[in-house]
Structure 1
Amino acid sequence: MRHHALLLAAFLSLGVASAAGTRAGTQITNQASAAYRDSTGTRLDANSNQVSTLVKQVGGVTISPDGTPAAPGQQQQAVPGAEVVFPYTLTNTGNGTDSFLVDTMVDSSVTNTVAPATPVVVYVDANGDGILQPGERVALPQSGGKSVFQNVAADGTVKFFVVLQVPSSATSVNKVITQPTATSTFDANKTDGVSSSTNYSQVNVVQDAVLSISKSVVSTTTESNGDLTVVYRVQSTNTGTQAASNVILADDIISATSTLPTGSVVVASSAVISPTTGTVTYPNTDGDGNASDQVQAVFGSVAPGQSVQMTFTVTIPASAAPTSGQNPYSNVATVTYTGSTGTTTTTSSNTADVTKAATAAVAIGPNGDPLGAADPTTGAAYTTAEGLTVTPDNADTQTVASLAAGSSVTFAQSVRNTGNSTDVFDFTAALSDLPAGTTVDLLRDGVPLPDSDGDGVPDSGPLAPGQTAVIQVRVRVPAQGGADANGGSVVVTATSSVDTSKKDTTTDRIGNVTAPSVSIGDTSGSNGGTPATPGNQSVLPGVQAVFPMEVGNNGAQPDNYNLSGTATFPVIGGTVPVTVVYYKDLDGDGVLDPNELAAGPITNTGTIQPGQEIKLLAVVNTPDNALPGSVTVSQTAQSPVTNTSGTDTNNTVTVLQEYDVALTPDRSGTTTSPGTALYEHQLQNDGNTSFGPADLSFTSTPAGATTGWTYLYSFDGTTFFASIGSAFSDAATRNLLGSSGPATLDPGERVTLSVKINVPAGAPTDSVNQLTLTAATTPASPATGAVLRDPTGNPARVTDTTRVVGGKLAIDKTVDNCGVLVSCNTVTSGADAFPGEYLRYTLSARNLSTETLTEVVLRDTVPANTVLAGVTGPTGGFYRIAGGAWTSVATAPVAQTAGTLVEFAVDSNGNSVIDADETSLSSGASVTFTMTVRVN
């Protein structure tokens, strides 16, 4: 219960979401990561899967201004038979495009109210100036007798008029009360004015002077200094039956009826009036401290049908915040006059709206210096995640002196919103003079940058004016590119989404690229042997020829090398290629010792440090049916990372005698845990005697990781058996062994042996299983003079090497829709979400290795369009915000905006703090945290 209360407190601190919320169709994507150290002290990282939630549409509509029968939002005076126009604004407060059914209601329940002379009509204010122009009297589409406002965007507005005519029979005690209503077509339950008195306007009937008033925006101009110059026109017409006296057109631009920002002023002497017989003044009577926010024009008398007007200029300062069409800067003027009976009346105009465009600007530069050359600041040199030193300068460039081919460098960039509105900045990277195949990753806190606005380009997420964020640019140079003494650069561009013409660039430079190098050859005093030194082995058919070899890394970065070698032996009717099998020469004596054989063959050297070498034993399994003669052994060491290779072609095998059976080739592969690896081998009779199941013996020997591993065998790839012998017998029984003699494998014939290896669940990552298969002929009655292969000494052999892949730490992420309850009592896994609903992200990390991992820290980022609302975790769980102090998960977080880094760790030693080496996870252990956010 205490934890629930904390989550609720966090929710209450978040405030209320905006009217429309996050746009319908927005994808909220999120990916977590973790950092840890393995038993060797190496710092490693792991990324989770990415989860995505689609924001669903909600409807909403408002009409303004509001008003009730007792307090109408708008009032006008009119003589009998006059037309009256009330301006209104409809706003789509939903989060997706919607259409609305608009109707009008006439209220006759108030004393002395009368109905309009004709049906009330609705017109759209096409130019949005609040004045009904002749060209705007256009009939709207109808549905069920109601006007349709079609395809109004989320947060979009439609300005419209409600037009009615006062009955000619009305008297001065009468009034006409009406209101518009609106219903969403997406959600008919979302209305305004349909079941409540919210938008009422009132016409008061008089037999006297009646001055209508309208206000419009003549022009707007953005000056070079960013100020917005606005020209307003105020016009009043006497639509009554008597003359009006002491007519005052007035405007106070900083007042309760104005939303113009502080600092706005009426430009001195800018007012122009018509007729010119009136008098203009700029009073300072409102006591608000702004001496330039009022203007008025006084006319002695205005006859029936006569109009007067005043035009003046206002300056809105550049520092004022930008506005949208939904929430513009608005202003209302008034006309005050005295009628024939001596009554003084004041009438307000329509609202004149002005939109001030956002001023977009962005700065991106080296780490700690977003303004680059535009200010004297120079960022400090720093060490990258790869251990390289990057040095910024004050010319918007940062440099790493050298980078080895096949490695990466991660530059840190500072980006700042220097505009006056919240903006999202897209990032692109352009390579210059770097080797072909160089790649660039754009990251934030080690996780790929999201595309928060759905335009297909990774971005910063929303940044408030003045806010600075740090992103990473990871440049990976291909191993195959070779050396590049001149290096190259990556130009990173940040582009505003508010104004795509506003962008800034910065440069990340790599001084030079060093190339890899490898040497393979017979043992010598030089690194990697001497390929020019030949070696020869004379062997019987089927006997191994063993060559002591060395592979050396002559490059500047750690590398590893795939080993391959072949020797092609002449046989009756053609040739047979044989693959060289490699073993580590553990004691360096040049002899394949039992312990080295038991360790199993290798196909890759493993990592070799620069200037170091590995000693190998290259084993050539001479074919049983090879003809006598000398055969060249070709060997290659090639890096799978850099593609660099070295070769040796100076060793030979002298064959003394043929042999009769072969099982080829060695296979290697990778799979997950649990998982399955499938290998195919060729069993071939290279002798001159047919044999069947009774004449052949098999062995299957697993090595390395074997616990829980199982093996199956098949000669048709479909039906599998627990032993090779059973599979071979089945092949004979079903006539699968060849074409000449269905029950035997005849000379020159071969069949495919399929081996299925099943990897158990929980097998440690990087564990290796080596399954060695052998086949030997053991005929019961050999032909006279036949040369038999020793069934126990040198049988035909292949080895299947299977490695379990995956990181030592697996991190998984899921998302649940919690609805409107921050406590997440009821969840919907993977559900889409409405604005205002909560999403709970669950982060689970599990140690896949056989060792204990330390300093395990889970990292997540508050997704775009959301706010952090809560965290949970295990006993001893802690979290911290943006690298700050560690806090127990029992304490609810303060609301955090999108892009904020949240890290999680466990107090493994129970001292109530997060020490340097926590969290610790033993083999197979896991830890789970959750992070709850609210969709804006």
Structure 2
Amino acid sequence: MKRIRRYVGFLLAVLMGLALAAGTPAGTAITNQATATYIDSAGQPRTTTSNLVTTIVQQVYSFTITPDGNNENNPGQVRSGLPGSQVLFNYRVRNNGNGTDTISLATVQGTSDNFDLQNVRIYLDANCNGNVDAGEGQVTQVTLPADGEACLVVTAVIPSGATSGQHGNLNLVGTSQGNASVVDNNNWAQARATAQAALTAFKAATPSGSVAPGTPITYTISGANTGGSGAYGYPVTVDGTSRTGILIEDVIPNGLQVAAMPTGSAGAGTVRFVYNTGSGWSTLTSSNLPLTGNGTVRIGMLIEGSGPFFPQGAQYTFSFNAQVPSGAPAGTSYSNFAVVRFDANGDGDADDTGETVTTNTTTNTVGAAYAVQVGPYGYPLGNGTGTYTVGAYTITRNADQQMVSAVYSGTTVVFRHTLRNTGNTADSFTLSPSGQPSGWACQLVADDLATPISGPVGPVAAGGDLNFALRCQVPAGYTGGPVNIVLTATSQANPSARDNTTDTVTTVADGYRFDLFGGVDGYPPYTQVRTPNGTLLTSDDTTTTNRSIYQSGTTHPERDPGQSVTYRLRVQNLNPNGLADNYTLNLIPQTGYAQRVASVLFYADPDDDGIPNGAPISNTGLVAHNAIFNLVAVVTLRNDAPPGPAGFTFEAKSGTSSAEASDYAYAEVLVNLVAQVTLDPDRSGTVTSPGTLVYTHTLTNSSNAPAYCDISGNGGAHGWTYQYSTNGNNWYGALADVYVAPNGGTATIYVRLQVPAGEPVGRSDVNTVTANCDLTTGTPDNTYEATDTATETTTIVGGELRLQKTVDRTTAYPGDVLTYTITAENIGTGNLTEVKISDPLPNHTTFVSVSATATGFTGFAGATVLYSTDGTTWSSTPPTSLPAGGVVYVGVDTNGDGNITSADVMPPAAKVTITLTVRVQ
């Protein structure tokens, strides 16, 4: 099965990344929720959602140990050595399950052989080079994640009393600790005693394990003569001439390219690099490169010599680089081993037992490169242009941002998006919006703009696109802007792989009263520090309150809480000694400062434009004689500043004068009374006749003074009764002097509607609730400085759609089929129309089938169940496939036009039952 791995540089580890060898990872929650849209008996469009159902994926236990050796007579590997010497067997363990498992390891001696091997040990081969390196310890078990692998070396000693030609057999047995019935025991190996030459051969790949597209793999084959005599060469034809030598050969893995000359050395003999493309061996030079692996192309090193030229203890090494293609998809595997051939007994061939040695197998897998881009609809790469329209609003795409110039409070704005999987493997993604103001109800929905997205989306194939939308309900009382909502797509496999795109609402206008636009408070008109007669302040001003800063002829600039005043100041060096000086900048609080001023910061203003430059400062730095240092002081009011004056004095203090000479300038800011209350939200609801309905509203006082509010309403045109309360227990026809604390204080207003019997279906009433508020710091005088309203629209209904969902499995294994049952039923007393039931394909599943039945459609003999995959085009034939992220729709056609429209009726007690089957990946 295809491996899916995360590439994290050159992974020099044994446990090779996560994948889905046996499907969806254990513990994954598969969630699903259905949605239905319809028109109720009062003619109003409605949406309802089912309960959420969840299935948890269970663990599958499976592993393999290779190479296989089916029995003692057919060992998977054979090693030769002197009696009393050590031999090494190489194995690879792979977890093919869908969760982490621990595999116990043990060895078993053969019974159909000449001797038992001694000092048998199992080592974890961390770099998979086939040898036991310093620091690599013994193991009796390995713990592997799903699709994880580990290389092992089993070492054993041939008994010193063994004679040449005798052999001993050994089997490596693995047992799953998660499921003891899962065993791999066909891994027999053989060690042969010999007094002749015996060559070892080890293979290393750097990096080992995971490799990135476009990077090289360095293969190194090494070994030594560990036998009892010198090794002979055997005849090898090169360039049409027979040569005698020891040949190390390697089939270049399919798709890899060798572009540079190999390197190598030998403890005896002469080294020649060779290659073979299927027409025999030839001497390799740089002019023959590159060589591209196709399953037959071989590269090698011939160690030439005559007689038993390669003595005991002589070593050899051979290395070459092979480039991984830059476009290699995740999961591409490159397995490689080398073969060493020599003549052990001088009979002129390499055909005897032990004269052909196969190295361990190295395996490199192209790691998964996880990446995602999300952008405006149709432009996932963030290069959006043009416009599109959803509902009442036109959305403009500008690069990686989508904008709508103006929307009205109380309406819905929809931004459509396209996500692209720019990684090299399938992936699922989490979508998350941020930055929406408090009270905004923003929901991620499918591309049909209705079906909610719950949990991750996908899997999306590498290079594949997925369309979806962000639907935001703007609160009725919200105005202002701009609003910037950042939508983030995050890879589930690698959370560091993410991308953002921005949705912007430039302004939100009051959709219920009037259109209000406010300017940003800019810098005030030019002001300077002056004496009462208008001359610039100098160092003879020695008191803290006798000099004022004038602004446009007014001593007291007026500002709202939270706003700022910018004063343009100058410090001029008039030292008689002509020396430079440094002046410390301070502020001395005066009356009203503490409760009204949040901060005062000084900034340099070198270009004298009244705009702060750089970071805040606390001194001027050196000012030359007669030079003027221009600066600004930004005074920011507290957000909760009450009405009234705030006074403060600016001070410039000499840094060198022994008298600590200071100069002062006094200023005052008058905090305005800000009268602002909001009564939110506007509400709408349905009620039966007779019936009772309770609405709640939040009265917020954003003013900087306490509010005393009178609450009343104007509904009841049909004899309906409205009552008001602040606690939900005591009810009155109206409320008087409801106290709300300043600066964001709130009070809950309850409105209870009682509808008498006999009201017709479809009748509605609008109650406008009004809050008239007296803003005061003293005693209320019933003078209303602030007013706001909230509307309540109530409609008599006679129908209601109930949507329920079940799943037949709360746990499942990869490959299991899940059956979802969705039941939609009209439990009201009036007809519903244009009923469309939708269900998204759950994440980590593949579509199998869908079917539906309809009952209770009395009077509609020809009622036919229709299906759709886009909510627009309908067919009586169920779909046979559904893409990742797809949605299936079901409706009942009662007028025979082959479509689902407002002409299609779902009468009281009618029921639609949908069966959706999917297979767990």
TM-score (norm 2): 0.62
2:226 is equivalent to residue 239 of structure 1: yes
- Which of 200, 204, 225 is residue 212 of structure 1 equivalent to? 200
Say if 1:905 and 1:918, in contact at 8 Å, map to a contact too: no
- Which of 917, 921, 924 is residue 906 of structure 2 equivalent to? 921
Shift of 1:308: 0.6
Shift of 1:265: 0.6
Shift of 1:886: 4.4
Task: Give the equivalent residue in structure 1 for 2:381.
Answer: 371
SS in 2 for 1:479: coil
Query: Structure 1 892/500 Cα, relative in aligned 2: closer, same or farther at 3 Å?
Result: closer
Q: Deviations over 1:320-350 (max 9, x none)?
A: 1224xxx853211111112223341332211
Task: Give the equivalent residue in structure 2 for 1:526.
Answer: none
* Whole-angstrom distance in 2 between the partners of 1:349 and 1:292: 22
Task: Give the equivalent residue in structure 2 for 1:823.
Answer: none
* Whole-angstrom distance in 2 between the partners of 1:884 and 1:81: 80
Task: Give the equivalent residue in structure 2 for 1:135.
Answer: 135
Letter matched to residue 66 of structure 2: S
Shift of 1:389: 2.5
Shift of 1:383: 1.7
Letter matched to residue 252 of structure 1: V
| Percent of aligned pairs with the same amino acid | 31
Letter matched to residue 369 of structure 1: Y
Letter matched to residue 373 of structure 2: A
Shift of 1:134: 4.2
Task: Give the equivalent residue in structure 2 for 1:121.
Answer: 121
Say if 1:765 and 1:807, in contact at 8 Å, map to a contact too: no
Say if 1:368 and 1:380, in contact at 8 Å, map to a contact too: no
* Whole-angstrom distance in 2 between the partners of 1:287 and 1:858: 69
2:78 is equivalent to residue 104 of structure 1: no
2:498 is equivalent to residue 510 of structure 1: no
Letter matched to residue 469 of structure 1: L
- Which of 127, 148, 163 is residue 156 of structure 1 equivalent to? 148
Say if 2:77 and 2:190, in contact at 8 Å, map to a contact too: yes
Letter matched to residue 199 of structure 1: N
Say if 2:259 and 2:290, in contact at 8 Å, map to a contact too: no
Q: Deviations over 1:107-158 (max 9, x none)?
A: 323xxx223231532222133333222432x343xxxxxx233x43222222
Query: Structure 1 65/583 Cα, relative in aligned 2: closer, same or farther at 3 Å?
Result: same
Task: Give the equivalent residue in structure 2 for 1:179.
Answer: 171
Q: Deviations over 1:509-567 (max 9, x none)?
A: 21310125569xxxxxxxxxxxxxxxxxxxxxxxxxxxxxxxxxx99x99779999xxx
SS in 2 for 1:168: coil
- Which of 93, 96, 110 is residue 96 of structure 2 equivalent to? 93
Say if 1:368 and 1:378, in contact at 8 Å, map to a contact too: no
* Whole-angstrom distance in 2 between the partners of 1:448 and 1:200: 56
SS in 2 for 1:135: coil
* Whole-angstrom distance in 2 between the partners of 1:449 and 1:500: 19
* Whole-angstrom distance in 2 between the partners of 1:470 and 1:129: 47
2:334 is equivalent to residue 342 of structure 1: no
* Whole-angstrom distance in 2 between the partners of 1:858 and 1:563: 29
Shift of 1:226: 5.2
1:470-481 equivalence runs, <5 A:
470-481=467-478
Letter matched to residue 838 of structure 2: R
Q: Deviations over 1:828-874 (max 9, x none)?
A: xxx32222222111111122443322222211112112112222221
1:699-848 equivalence runs, <5 A:
703-704=756-757, 808-817=800-809, 831-848=810-827
Query: Structure 1 168/765 Cα, relative in aligned 2: closer, same or farther at 3 Å?
Result: farther
* Whole-angstrom distance in 2 between the partners of 1:898 and 1:178: 49
Shift of 1:924: 2.8
Task: Give the equivalent residue in structure 2 for 1:313.
Answer: 321
* Whole-angstrom distance in 2 between the partners of 1:905 and 1:309: 72
Task: Give the equivalent residue in structure 1 for 2:611.
Answer: none
* Whole-angstrom distance in 2 between the partners of 1:563 and 1:862: 36
Letter matched to residue 235 of structure 1: S
Say if 2:21 and 2:146, in contact at 8 Å, map to a contact too: no
* Whole-angstrom distance in 2 between the partners of 1:75 and 1:705: 95
Letter matched to residue 383 of structure 1: V
SS in 2 for 1:874: strand
* Whole-angstrom distance in 1 between the partners of 2:157 and 2:114: 11
Task: Give the equivalent residue in structure 2 for 1:63.
Answer: 65
1:374-393 equivalence runs, <5 A:
378=385, 380-384=387-391, 387-393=392-398
Q: Deviations over 1:461-512 (max 9, x none)?
A: 321111100121122333333x32x532212222334444443222212131
SS in 1 for 2:187: coil
Shift of 1:399: 2.0
* Whole-angstrom distance in 1 between the partners of 2:41 and 2:849: 33
Say if 1:864 and 1:898, in contact at 8 Å, map to a contact too: yes
Shift of 1:927: 0.6
* Whole-angstrom distance in 1 between the partners of 2:867 and 2:843: 20
1:553-592 equivalence runs, <5 A:
584-585=716-717
1:454-493 equivalence runs, <5 A:
459-481=456-478, 483-484=479-480, 486-493=481-488
Say if 1:244 and 1:302, in contact at 8 Å, map to a contact too: yes
2:393 is equivalent to residue 398 of structure 1: no
Query: Structure 1 398/63 Cα, relative in aligned 2: closer, same or farther at 3 Å?
Result: same
Query: Structure 1 805/813 Cα, relative in aligned 2: closer, same or farther at 3 Å?
Result: farther
* Whole-angstrom distance in 2 between the partners of 1:360 and 1:189: 36
Say if 2:51 and 2:805, in contact at 8 Å, map to a contact too: yes
Task: Give the equivalent residue in structure 2 for 1:668.
Answer: 752
Query: Structure 1 295/766 Cα, relative in aligned 2: closer, same or farther at 3 Å?
Result: farther
- Which of 294, 319, 330 is residue 322 of structure 1 equivalent to? 330
Task: Give the equivalent residue in structure 1 for 2:250.
Answer: 251
* Whole-angstrom distance in 1 between the partners of 2:144 and 2:118: 29
Aligned-pair Cα RMSD in Å: 4.4
Number of aligned pairs? 638
SS in 1 for 2:135: helix
1:379-458 equivalence runs, <5 A:
380-384=387-391, 387-393=392-398, 395-431=399-435, 435-445=437-447, 446-451=450-455
Letter matched to residue 364 of structure 2: V
Q: Deviations over 1:411-434 (max 9, x none)?
A: 111000112122233333232xx6
* Whole-angstrom distance in 1 between the partners of 2:356 and 2:722: 97
Letter matched to residue 201 of structure 1: A
Shift of 1:578: 13
* Whole-angstrom distance in 2 between the partners of 1:460 and 1:444: 10
Say if 1:581 and 1:620, in contact at 8 Å, map to a contact too: no
2:837 is equivalent to residue 858 of structure 1: yes
Structure 2 residue runs of 5 or longer lacking an equivalent are 1-18, 234-244, 282-288, 515-677, 686-693, 697-708, 725-730, 766-792, 855-863
* Whole-angstrom distance in 2 between the partners of 1:274 and 1:307: 6
Say if 1:578 and 1:620, in contact at 8 Å, map to a contact too: no
Task: Give the equivalent residue in structure 2 for 1:47.
Answer: 49
Say if 2:414 and 2:469, in contact at 8 Å, map to a contact too: yes
* Whole-angstrom distance in 2 between the partners of 1:836 and 1:383: 40
Shift of 1:919: 5.6
SS in 1 for 2:425: coil
Shift of 1:811: 1.3
Say if 2:26 and 2:59, in contact at 8 Å, map to a contact too: yes
Query: Structure 1 813/559 Cα, relative in aligned 2: closer, same or farther at 3 Å?
Result: closer
Query: Structure 1 329/881 Cα, relative in aligned 2: closer, same or farther at 3 Å?
Result: farther
Letter matched to residue 50 of structure 1: L
Q: Deviations over 1:368-414 (max 9, x none)?
A: 111222xxx63551324xx4332323x12222232222332121110
Structure 1 residue runs of 5 or longer lacking an equivalent are 1-16, 141-146, 255-260, 452-458, 520-553, 565-576, 586-595, 605-618, 622-631, 648-665, 671-701, 708-763, 769-800, 818-830
* Whole-angstrom distance in 2 between the partners of 1:357 and 1:47: 40
